[in-house]
Structure 1
Amino acid sequence: MVAYPNPDGIEIHFARLQGDANLVDLWEAARAAGVKPGTIRVWVSRRKIEPVLNGEAGMYFHLPTIKAAAEGGAKHKPADPAANSRGPHAHAA
């Protein structure tokens, strides 16, 4: 199951026929979310979002869904952002 699902297929179909500006390519989706295109690809691979279209012409996304996913943030936010799996970073003296 995708964390941020797209609207139903009928709504997407009619949006495509009408040239809806809410259907954007990978680069526009990344720009709207304030992330890099690689982050959008990671979101797809981790099933946070899914493309509306995915083919030879590239991936296309539903803009309101992308914005909702970006506002949703990460699943896990560490108490100390500088910490990693081995503990906090030591400062070089």
Structure 2
Amino acid sequence: MPTFPNPELYDLYQRDLGDLWEAARVAGVKPGTIRVWESRGKIERVRLDDDRPLYHLPTIAEAAKVKPGRPRAA
């Protein structure tokens, strides 16, 4: 299960979906970073019938807000 899961398919809107390059633009990272996030389970692709790799852009934006590294001790 990804850290930032996508909404259910019936809750998705076409305008909220984008390809790898759009996801990278929304997150402010390189496309390779999106691939790393996916391989590490931070995010997931949206699976539709045509099997194009799409990403839920609002979920990508939320995932981008979390900075890498360890949290500071209290």
Structure ranking higher in helix proportion: 2
1:55 Cα deviation after fit: 8.5
Structure ranking higher in strand proportion: 1
Aligned position for 2:36? 42
Larger CA Rg, structure 1 vs 2:
1
- Between the aligned residues of both structures, percent identity stands at 51
Residues 29 and 63 of structure 1 are in contact (CA less than 8 Å); yes or no, is this contact kept in structure 2?
Answer: yes
Q: Please tell me the residue identity of whatever aligns with 2:62.
A: A
Runs of 5+ in structure 1 lacking a partner?
80-93
Runs of 5+ in structure 2 lacking a partner?
none
Residues 26 and 58 of structure 1 are in contact (CA less than 8 Å); yes or no, is this contact kept in structure 2?
Answer: no
For 2:6 and 2:70, locate their aligned partners in 1 and report how far apart those are by CA, in whole Å. Answer: 25
Q: CA-atom RMSD, angstroms?
A: 2.4
Match for 1:51 among 45, 52, 68? 45
Ranked by relative contact order (alpha carbons within 8 Å, sequence separation 6 or more), the top structure is 2
What TM-score results when the alignment is normalised by the length of structure 1? 0.67
Match runs of 1:2-81 below 5 Å:
2-12=2-12, 15=13, 20-53=14-47, 58-74=52-68, 76-77=69-70
Deviating beyond 3 angstroms after TM superposition, the runs of 4 or more aligned structure 1 residues are 54-58
